[in-house]
Amino acid sequence: MFSRAEVEAIASLANLELDANEIAMFARQLGEILAYADEVQQVDTRSVPPTASVLAPFPSDRPDEVRPSLARDVALANAPDPAAGAGLFRVPRVIG
Amino acid sequence: MNHPATLRAIRDAVRSRARSVGDVCREALERLDAVEPALHAFNTVTRDQALARAERLDRDLGQWRDRPLVGVPIALKDNLCTQGIRTTASSRILETFVPPYDATAVARLEAAGAVVIGKTNCDEFAMGSSNENSAFGAVANPWALDRTPGGSSGGSAAAVASGIVPLALGSDTGGSIRQPAAMCGVVGVKPTYGRVSRYGLIAFGSSLDQIGPLTRTVHDAALALGVIAGPDPADATSAPEPVADYEAALTGEIGDVRVGVPARLIEGGVHPEVARAFQTSLDVLRSRGAALVDIELPHAKYATAVYYLVATAEASSNLARYDGVRYGFRARVEGQAKGEDALRPMYARTREHGFGPEVKRRIMLGTYVLSAGYYDAYYLKAQQVRTLILRDYDHAFERVDVVAMPTSPTPAFKLGDRVADPLQMYLADVFTVSANLAGLPAVSVPCGFTAGRLPIGLQLTGRRFDESTVLRVADAYERHTSWWKEAPALS
């Protein structure tokens, strides 16, 4: 079981604005899921390296060449608030 | 209903001009219209584009007829980007997103002559095992409309099982192709990690995700995999290994094959009718000459715990991109006082309104296990246990060629049954997640029915990049059983 403050702290890191019901629900469910996931602590992993990728290493270098990419208007086409003339994504004010 | 046509039968009919592409596609769309109200398998139907493309293929058949999928109507999971066609990942946050490019797997299917008739419903961002996490409503199982089709590629599995299309693409991060294939009575293949380009697949767990086919027969899956597999300069994790001729691998002969059975992992927790069908399927493999070998995968019992630590960590990072700036939904935030930051509240409200509960749960869990103070205890620890699971399989594959397990411990469950208990939903992924953690190819092939006519799936897992053997064993099994010929009674 997580406290309300703990859930709010995680939500803040994740940029989520949870409502009161969600905070209560996640406080319970995250606790239950992590209590289960805690079974990994039983495993002796001394001197076991972590696996981040299962791929055998292969050379994926490529020449650093300019290649075609999305046109600016195409890249802006899905933006909720494009500044098309300037070729920019517009966002709410960050500083006063 | 009659047994629906296979991909190869449709393609061959088009090649021989026995049927036009237009006829084939109109028939697929008519079938879709007839069953879709009951199934809700599609987020978007691309009727006009499909018929226009069919007309072009018919007109220029001479230049298309030798392509491996000429005239075949297909469906695509709605987390695969399609240029000019809305791609939502079944999420409100992408409800109006129209990609400016095609996923590589999609482009390869179209270059092979396939005709896309629509985008299939799925769990939001492919997170789920029942398709109930779609923002646009659940999908019904064609075999029992009050049950889930499985997930997350539930719409793709239902579209194939109900005879709308002979091929649909899905994506599989922890079983999302194989488990719905099992629950809907169709074939589903999760290729080796790196076998199929992930370019244009909306990312969930980047070290686990693979695109693969759902079909009625193993041969059709082998054919489709051959089309989509292979390196792609647009995905640095697509592997350079040459692509085998998967159709040629299907010899029907398995006298040389050793099938590993992790009996200790399977015993307990498996529905009795699933256990019985699994044992019977092993008897079939033995009767065809395969040797059954008892194996141990000592760390596989930790796979579900490892998976939900690793996959959620990767998801929390991948889904950080949905912030209401460059694409997708943006929430409005009013009344910020002068001098106050209005940007972060916009991010947080956009994500709060744009994501559903399961996606938020996984973002929260992933954020937590990656956060300072918990990273070593959870994320790093999970990755170490992942290494041990991988080694278990490597050891097993010194003695056997494939590993057999049930795909899912239960047949399709009732809609609503597990919604309130996410942990119970996660635990049902026990037999599928380890192939993703270890990057191994795995197939689910129909292996029977419960007394109540619910399909059951047999899962075969193989060595990295040895799709040929996995498909050969699955095909040999299919040739000597008739489960795949069954079709749901859906009118």
Q: Is residue A12 part of a domain?
A: yes
Residue ranges in chain A whose pLDDT is less than 50: none
Cβ atoms of B159 and B168 closer than 8 Å: yes
Query: How many residues are present in chain B?
Result: 491
Question: Any idea which residue has 């933006």 for tokens?
Answer: A79
pLDDT of residue B1: 44
Is the Cβ pair B338, A96 closer than 8 Å? yes
Residue B2 binned pLDDT confidence (cut-offs 50, 70, 90): low
A55 touching chain B per CB within 8 A: yes
Q: What is the ipTM of this complex?
A: 0.95
Q: Is residue A59 part of a domain?
A: no
Neighbour-count burial of B12, counting CB atoms closer than 10 A to its CB (0-12 exposed, 13-18 middle, 19+ buried): middle
Q: Are strands A88-89 and B210-215 parallel, antiparallel or unpaired?
A: unpaired
A16 touching chain B per CB within 8 A: yes
Give pLDDT tens digits for B331-346.
998 766 777 889 999 9
Give pLDDT tens digits for B465-483.
999 999 999 999 999 999 9
Is the Cβ pair A30, B364 closer than 8 Å? yes
Give pLDDT tens digits for B389-442.
999 999 999 999 999 999 999 999 999 999 989 999 999 999 999 999 999 999
Share of chain B above pLDDT 70, in %: 99
Q: Is residue A30 part of a domain?
A: yes
pTM of the model: 0.97
Residue A39 Cα, gap to closest chain B Cα (Å): 7
Joined together, the tokens standing for residue B148 give 């889930």
Q: Is B414 assigned a catalytic role?
A: no
Q: Is residue A20 part of a domain?
A: yes
Structural domain harbouring A18? 4-42
Is the Cβ pair A43, B352 closer than 8 Å? no
Tally of domains in chain A: 1
Separation of alpha carbons B440 and B217, rounded Å: 21
Residues 6 or more apart whose CB falls under 8 angstroms from that of B198 comprise B206, B209, B210, B211, B235, B237, B238
Q: Is residue A71 part of a domain?
A: no
Is the Cβ pair B368, A30 closer than 8 Å? yes
**Which of B352, B387, B423 has the CB atom closest to A50's CB atom?**
B387
Residue type, B193: Y
Q: Is B238 assigned a catalytic role?
A: no
Nearest residue of A to residue B360 by CA position? A16
Share of chain B above pLDDT 90, in %: 95
A36 touching chain B per CB within 8 A: yes
Q: Is residue A14 part of a domain?
A: yes
Q: Which residues pair with B201 in a beta bridge?
A: B80
B84 touching chain A per CB within 8 A: no
Cβ atoms of B255 and B289 closer than 8 Å: yes
Q: Is residue A24 part of a domain?
A: yes
Domains with residue ranges and CATH for chain B? 7-258+404-485 (3.90.1300.10), 300-383 (no CATH)
A22 touching chain B per CB within 8 A: yes
